[in-house]
Amino acid sequence: MGKCKHCGNDAGLLRSLHKECAATHATNLDMMRGAIVAASRTGTNLDRLPEYLDRLAREGHVTEDEQRRARIAGWCGAADSFLEDQLLSKDEDAALVGLMNRLGLSAGDLAQEETLTRVAHAAILRDVLEGNLPELPPPQQPWPFNLQRSEKLVWVFPHVSYYTEHSSRAYVGGSHGVSLRVMKGVYYRVGAFKANPVVTTETRLTDSGPLGVTTKHLYFHGSSKIFRVPYAKVVSFTPYSDGIGVVRDAQSAKPQTFETGDGWFAYNLVVNLAKLAQP
């Protein structure tokens, strides 16, 4: 006789679970995630939430690892509901911190979750929009940017593809004409015309590396290209779904594109930091 993996009782020949136990297990996991999101939205029953989650776990034979993953999923669902407008108020930020503590979660538990990055993005944008200048905590391994004394490192996109624009010129439509023999040793050429130049432009991957966003500059550190771009020398920023484009204030300047992965955050961050950097 097989044992039910949920309740531990006999499940029958060649069976490893009861249908009823499996249904209760799945239902209670969904209820755990839903209860977390509901409590965060309404702000009620937060004090009783841990006890309620424990009861659902016991009744549904939910393992400790499954409980942890359900709590992480519930916290992410709560954060997603706050981020529906792409912004995060201070009250919502505080509510998420309080919810994390009530659920017994740490930043390490959420480190691999994309939602945590979105929360960090929204919190930084809120501070910048309010005129505050946040500063990124120093990492274990320092970033390869030589900042000026009066600037702060606000954010780093660690893996950025850097693209530049390249032009090539070709001549089309030209002809050398036809040479006709007039007499011995004398030739006459007819039909010759000059070719027209055609210029084509393409965007090429030039390098890759971290892109640092500070209160005054953009810093890029690739394997072959290392530079910084002052906000004061930027004519325009162009938003893309997965990055930003930059055109410098120079007659021969060509567009530079940075693929950051999150174009909305990158664009709004640099545009507002550039405004704050204006004298």
| 239 assigned to some structural domain | yes
| 159 assigned to some structural domain | yes
- How far apart are alpha carbons 216 and 153 in whole angstroms? 9
Model pLDDT, residue 11: 58
Statement: residue 190 has pLDDT above 60? no
Q: Are residues 123 and 14 in the same domain?
A: yes
Q: Are residues 77 and 158 in the same domain?
A: no
DSSP symbols for 96-165: HHHHHHHTT--HHHHTT-HHHHHHHHHHHHHHHHTT----PPPPSS--S----TT--EEEEEEEEEEEEE
Q: Are residues 94 and 15 in the same domain?
A: yes
Q: Are residues 117 and 49 in the same domain?
A: yes
Q: What are the residues whose beta carbons fall under 8 Å from the beta carbon of 185, sequence distance 6 or more?
A: none
| 147 assigned to some structural domain | no
> pLDDT for 62-116, tens place per residue?
889 989 999 999 999 999 999 988 889 999 999 999 999 999 998 889 988 999 9
Tokens of 6: 């949920």
| 199 assigned to some structural domain | no
- The average confidence (pLDDT) of the chain is 85
**pTM for the full predicted model:** 0.76
Model pLDDT, residue 61: 83
- The larger pLDDT score, comparing residue 105 to residue 183, is at 105
Q: How many domains does the chain have?
A: 2
Q: Are residues 160 and 115 in the same domain?
A: no
Please report, rounded to a whole number, the percentage of residues in the chain having pLDDT higher than 70.
Answer: 81
Domain that holds residue 258: 153-166+206-277
Q: Are residues 38 and 87 in the same domain?
A: yes
Kindly state the average pLDDT of the residues 22-32.
Answer: 85
Residue showing tokens 């309620």: 52
Q: Are residues 122 and 216 in the same domain?
A: no
